[in-house]
Amino acid sequence: MRKIILDCDPGHDDAVAIMLAGLHEDIELLGITTVSGNSYLENTTRNALIISEMSGIDVEVYPGASKPILREQIVAHDIHGYSGLEGADLPNPKKAASNIHAVDFMSDVVKENFGEVTIVATGPLTNVALFALKYPDLVKGIKELVFMGGGIAFGNVTPVAEFNIYVDPEAADIVLRMDIPKVMAPLDMTHQAAITREEVQKLKDSESKVLNVVADLMNFFMKTYKNVFGIEGAPLHDPTTIAYLIDPEIFEWEDLNVSVELKGEFTYGQTVADIWKTTGKEPNVRVLEKINRDKFFDLLLDTLLKLS
């Protein structure tokens, strides 16, 4: 069983990642930390509380960074709506978030489980970078970092920059320099995991009120992806990180050296992957390149349908 901290910014696909992590028997979800990204920190924290409570996932939520390290804040209202989880009638959370800051929670957990905890980051990497800066002696205590972010062939905010990295490129630069095992789930792979109306209908047809709500959220998510990108179906970027921990065999990958562009006029926030080994630098990230879509959705739906 994998012990994980899920650092997220819910977000429709983050919501599904929370459910997969909290409901699958191979994952021990130690806590959820939140960061500004898809929406403001107040909203992403509230959304994490709502999703975990309505799914019966008994876990504390720890708010983290409310803005990037250096740059001006941006959010994704065009994709996720103002609240970050538009498209369904969601209940108010029954309990409050913890008073402990996300970064300090991470340090407490890593101290207690040195070498055993995986951090899964599905939003901007601000919290993880702040952890590395504040607790450098604990970085080696992270077993592995799995993050959704970046793109090799394309971006989704600029032609080359992906949202999570573009929101806080300086944080991503710090994280990519951390000397621990890292796994990157880029757009090139996550776009292969787009949910369709057929999968949403399976959620809608279940007897679970919770999954009916998730279906409504997914319908909204698909609508905005169609409006903004002209894409049929919505890529479930974030749950792929959890799926990798549960069953890495459904993925294909390559170990590459990846860095973040911080100075380019047109390329700021780009993840630059040394595919042809031209720099001579050692690989620092396992980059997930392909996913078996059918096996991914079998895993995801089998887990979610436990709520029926």
Residues carrying an active site annotation = 237
Vertex 299 angle, CA 249 and 155, to 5° = 70
* Amino acid identity for residue 245 in this structure: L
What sign does the dihedral 45-285-254-153 (CA atoms) show?
positive
20: closest CA among 241, 254, 220, 213?
Answer: 241
What is the end-to-end Cα distance of the chain in Å, rounded? 24
Spatial contact of 16 and 238, defined as CB atoms under 8 Å apart: yes
DSSP letter at 101? -
Q: Under DSSP, is residue 99 helix (H, G, I), strand (E, B) or coil?
A: coil
Alpha carbon 71 to its chain's center: 20
Q: Where are the strands (E) in the chain, listed by range?
A: 2-8, 27-34, 61-63, 117-121, 142-148, 182-185, 194-195, 234-235, 251-256, 258-260, 271-273, 285-291
Per DSSP, the residues of 182-249 read EEEE-HHHHTTSEE-HHHHHHHHTSS-HHHHHHHHHHHHHHHHHHHHH--SSEE-TTHHHHHHHH-GG
The angle that helices 197-204 and 209-229 make with each other, rounded to 10 degrees, is 160
CA 246, CA 299: separation in Å to the nearest integer?
9
| Contacts for 279 with CB less than 8 Å, ≥ 6 apart | 257
Vertex 25 angle, CA 193 and 94, to 5° = 85
